[in-house]
Structure 1
């Protein structure tokens, strides 16, 4: 991590997309990010992919964490990635997915540009360390 990264606040959007109403994990990661000194924006429940894209762009976040437990990741994540690409925000945003993602679906999401997928049992320290090491140095 560069000295500039250590001196700035990492901005994170934790997004709940689709009809998934399970938000405990999103709240846990949002709190872990906040406790790590990151600035956290929480989207709230039931957001459409374009709402997540708009919030990512408007808030100028470094990190987008997509929390999805509905099983619709192969539909919703590509829509978010396409929207970020359209706005030129995909390359300078660290994109994470958290939730129950079957092994056979992981490569497709990673090929779309998702930096890392965290499943159940991932430690908060592991996730925070990954963000610290990989958040884009844009400021």
Structure 2
């Protein structure tokens, strides 16, 4: 099925993590892959991210985490998404996240998480495939 509009992705940095170069690179790569990207900027709260995702009617939320707060941030965002019945929106992300933590987050409903060094093409293809399989346009 072909989408009648571009895939919309919200790229966010949550908490006090001030390193946004990776998030900006991902945002640019997703835009280059034909997606519409909303970048929230630094120091967002989980509530701000979910509210922005709702307002922008996104297909996916991508969170970049380098601060070690992934076991706090992702569960909070997924809980808020469930509360707001955003069951057909992908929550994905990446950064410095140990493999065991990635598996635990996946088990609670977070999509694939990407480690440093993952190609932007792999990330874009994952989002495209997930949206194709899970979103109704």
Using the size of structure 1 for normalisation, the TM-score is 0.93
SS of equivalent residue, structure 2 residue 42: coil
Match of 1:48 in 2: 45
Work out whether 1:17 is the aligned partner of 2:17.
no
Corresponding position of 1:63 = 60
Cross-structure match for 2:35? 38
Q: CA deviation at 1:8?
A: 2.5
Correspondences of 1:98-117 after superposition (within 5 Å)? 98-117=94-113
State how far apart, in whole Å, the 2-side matches of 1:137 and 1:50 are: 23
* Mapped partners of 1:21, 1:138: distance in 2: 35
| Distance in 2 (alpha carbons) for counterparts of 1:107 and 1:29 | 22
User: Residue 77 of structure 1: SS of its match in structure 2?
Assistant: helix
When the two structures are aligned, how many residues end up with a matched partner? 135
99-108 vs 28-37, which deviates more? 99-108
Structure 1 residue 76, shift from structure 2 partner: 1.1
1:86 aligns with 2:83: yes
Runs of 4+ with >6 A deviation: none
Ranges in structure 2 where 5+ consecutive residues have no aligned partner: none
Normalising by structure 2, report the TM-score.
Answer: 0.94
Structure 2 SS opposite 1:9: coil
